[in-house]
Chain A
Amino acid sequence: MDLTLTSDQEQLLAAIVDCLEGELPLARLHQPEAQRETAEVARIRTMAELGWTRVSLPTDFGGAGLGLAEEALLFREFGRRLAPASILAIVLGGRIAALGGATGLAEDILSGRRIVAFATPEASVMIGETASGPVRLFSTGPADLALLVTPGAAALLDMSGAPSNPRPCLDRTLMMRSADLASSQVLVRTDGPQVWSQALLLLAATLTGQAEASRDMITEYAKIRRTFGRAIGSYQAVRHPIADMAIRCEQSKCLVLYAALSLDENRPDAGTQAAAARAIAQVAATRNDDANIQLHGGIGVTDDLDAHLYMKRAIVYANWLGGAQQQLKALLDAALGDI
């Protein structure tokens, strides 16, 4: 029993952080929209070349064979740098395809050649031999594939025959469309709660990274911005909310790691831990993104500052994998057993 990172994990994390600084600068998200989309799609290919789409995929399927703990560390850094939003659907969709024996499809996805959209139901949806129901699709650039994850099953869908309507999205860094699954084709389906739990975990890790990025942004600003002749970080009205941000990050980080290990070790409470991690991380991201904007003052509401990008992405993610109410209700009924 040990919740500290091993030296291998420390090294991996340092390598990821170092690499991401060059690959995913936040300045990229302030480019004009037309150029940005092409560049983001290209970045997904680079991320795939670096092996980041196959971290926890077993070696037999061409993956690195590491654990979800390592993958969660990676996604936390993705969250800090607002990585292209399709990365979650690509990692999980590629894995479903690989484990389901669709080798060619898996390779197309995991190499970043085919983009996968994340499908979020707008009303009740059905997955069987075929799928049906209205969804919103979130992707980095155009995507002809979609991943739909429910608590009991997950499916990779071919959306090329399904008409979709682009919709302007609050978060300008991704593409949002509405579609109906009735004209889609189920390519691979997997039953059971595993993919749902993995998705909750990686989303929680992403949100934790966002919460940390917001904390760091305002911490640095509070050291240099002065009012009434003093750095604003010396005022309790500013430093105490930042301390609260740090607490939320710590809480979220610890639970994400705990949940990742629970899943890696197939513990009976793993699904509950993952759901709890998502609930905690969602609050951490939402509250921290708010505090970051607020404590910046006027500059906080400008388009130039990165602060609003985190806030908008967090609201998008709040709608993934069930809304807050649905999430929390499920958590209430989950048995803890003898942890």
Chain B
Amino acid sequence: MDLAYSPEQLEFRERARAWLSKNVPTEPRPAGDHGGAAYDREWQRRLYDGGWAGLNWPKEYGGAGLSGIQSLIWFEECEKADAPQYGLMTIALTHAGPTVIARGSEDHKKFHLPRILKGESIWCQGFSEPGAGSDLANVQVRGVVDGDHLVITGQKTWTSGAQHADFQELLIRTDQDSQRHAGLTWIICDMRLPGIDVRPIKTMMGEAEVNATFYDDVRIPLANVLGEIGQGWSVAMSTLAFERGTTFLRDQISLSAKVERAIELARRTRTPDGRLAIEESSIALKLAQLKAEGLAHRAMALANVSNVDRSGMPGPEGSMVKLLTGATHKAINETVAEILGLDFLDYDENRPSNPWAYDYMWGWVLSIAGGTSEIQHEIIADRVLNLPRAR
């Protein structure tokens, strides 16, 4: 147990810093639909060329094969360099790719993994449905075998980025007499197939990045199934632990910097009575408490990646981290709303018009997407505390 970086880790940090200083784009991500997608693909291509693609993917599949601590160092340097987020590449890199690695055939791996790493294919997720969100096992979209194809009918929802996606990880019910976890199948859906209709859903932020996706007799080759027909639940769950390991690492370590920015803001923003916001003790105390929480987040992130490096497997503690990240993110932005007062209201349905207000609303994405805070509470109660279940 120690906080000192090894010479190799220090050298790694230097290498990351040097590369980022030369390669982080100076122009901001364009707001328009296709500009954003092109920007994300281009950044991923640059990461690939620099050897930084697929951070914790194994090297044999073209990944960078980084340890947890190295990933942490990389994200810390990304924060300092203000490097782009994965954006529309997120599902491909943190979910679809790892699932293909864990459960895909050699053909799947050979075709998809290099395309993801090079930024050539954007993926979206097709898990949630109007009647299957937190209760994912209630998936109803039908898949019927017809020769060497599955014919898909039904509706998925919250398919973020579907309008830009090349592929989708699609979870469907292939055994119509089955219940719950049995009878589901995980299949790779080419988003350009006929019969797919993507309808954007406008969110409270004013964007329409999430969608409802409809399938009308969409024919997908059986060769696209990951695992076997009927094993969909186990395939979907195989990357869950992976997701809790390092997917939220950047969000987590950025909280401390966010708090510092909020403190900075309070030191230069005047309240209607002419005093600086930081002089309001109610605001100062909240910021101080948040600063402590930001440091706790960083310590938890370190403990989490240390455990992963030691045991090779993230534990259910990842649920604690995810829950806390959402809650702290919200608390920071609520305090910012108090600091800015009326100026917080200057928002024109796009992020650049007021990043603080956008960030405030993003808090609900953090606490709902990828398993709501309520579901994370259930996971902690079940798997960390072994409390009796009602379900």
Q: Main SS of chain B's interface residues?
A: helix
Supposing A4-B1, A280-B293, A325-B285 touch, asked if A246 and B324 sit within 8 A by C-beta, the answer is: no
Residues of B within 8 A of A231 (CB): 387-388
A9 within 8 A of B: yes
> Are B1 and A3 interface neighbours, CB within 8 A?
yes
Supposing A233-B388, A332-B288 touch, asked if A243 and B381 sit within 8 A by C-beta, the answer is: yes
B109 within 8 A of A: no
Docked pose: A329 CA to B377 CA in angstroms: 32
B389 to chain A: closest residue by CB: A234
> Are B300 and A1 interface neighbours, CB within 8 A?
no
> Are A3 and B388 interface neighbours, CB within 8 A?
no
> Are B289 and A328 interface neighbours, CB within 8 A?
yes
B391 to chain A: closest residue by CB: A234
Residues of A within 8 A of B289 (CB): 279, 283, 328
Residues of B within 8 A of A246 (CB): 320, 380, 384-385
> Are A222 and B387 interface neighbours, CB within 8 A?
yes
> Are B324 and A336 interface neighbours, CB within 8 A?
no
B5 within 8 A of A: yes
Residues of A within 8 A of B260 (CB): 336
Docked pose: A256 CA to B288 CA in angstroms: 17
Docked pose: A235 CA to B390 CA in angstroms: 7
Supposing A3-B1, A247-B320, A247-B324 touch, asked if A234 and B291 sit within 8 A by C-beta, the answer is: no
Interface size class for chain B?
35 or more
Residues of A within 8 A of B306 (CB): 1-4
Docked pose: A97 CA to B109 CA in angstroms: 66
Docked pose: A257 CA to B1 CA in angstroms: 9
Residues of A within 8 A of B287 (CB): 332
A26 within 8 A of B: no
Docked pose: A234 CA to B382 CA in angstroms: 9
> Are B388 and A250 interface neighbours, CB within 8 A?
no
Docked pose: A243 CA to B321 CA in angstroms: 12
Contact residues, B367-389 vs A (CB, 8 A): 374, 376-378, 380-381, 384-389
> Are A276 and B324 interface neighbours, CB within 8 A?
no
Supposing A4-B306, A4-B307 touch, asked if A325 and B380 sit within 8 A by C-beta, the answer is: no
B69 within 8 A of A: yes
Supposing A4-B1, A222-B387, A234-B388 touch, asked if A239 and B381 sit within 8 A by C-beta, the answer is: yes
A132 to chain B minimum Cβ distance, whole angstroms, is 29
A338 to chain B: closest residue by CB: B80
Docked pose: A110 CA to B128 CA in angstroms: 62
> Are A272 and B295 interface neighbours, CB within 8 A?
yes
B26 within 8 A of A: no
A267 within 8 A of B: yes
Residues of A within 8 A of B293 (CB): 251, 280
A69 within 8 A of B: yes
Q: Out of A254, A277, A279, A327, name the residue touching B303 (CB < 8 Å).
A: A254
> Are A336 and B387 interface neighbours, CB within 8 A?
no
Residues of A within 8 A of B386 (CB): 223
How many A residues have CB within 8 A of the partner chain? 53
1/0 contact string of A299-334 vs chain B (CB within 8 Å): 000000000000000000000000011011101100
1/0 contact string of A234-261 vs chain B (CB within 8 Å): 1110011011101100111011011101
> Are B1 and A276 interface neighbours, CB within 8 A?
no
Residues of B within 8 A of A250 (CB): 300, 317, 320
Docked pose: A261 CA to B1 CA in angstroms: 8
> Are A262 and B3 interface neighbours, CB within 8 A?
yes
1/0 contact string of B293-318 vs chain A (CB within 8 Å): 10111111011001101100000010
> Are A4 and B295 interface neighbours, CB within 8 A?
no
Docked pose: A252 CA to B285 CA in angstroms: 19
A230 within 8 A of B: yes
Residues of A within 8 A of B333 (CB): none
Docked pose: A234 CA to B385 CA in angstroms: 12
> Are A276 and B381 interface neighbours, CB within 8 A?
no
Docked pose: A2 CA to B385 CA in angstroms: 25
Q: Out of A219, A276, A277, name the residue touching B291 (CB < 8 Å).
A: A276
Docked pose: A170 CA to B27 CA in angstroms: 61
Residues of A within 8 A of B366 (CB): none
Q: Which 8 pairs from chain A and chain B are nearest by CB?
A: A328-B288, A258-B299, A233-B387, A276-B292, A239-B381, A243-B380, A254-B299, A234-B390
Chain A to chain B contacts (Cβ below 8 Å), 19 pairs: A1-B6, A3-B299, A3-B302, A69-B1, A234-B389, A234-B390, A235-B390, A239-B377, A239-B378, A250-B317, A252-B296, A254-B299, A255-B295, A257-B303, A258-B295, A262-B3, A272-B295, A275-B292, A329-B288
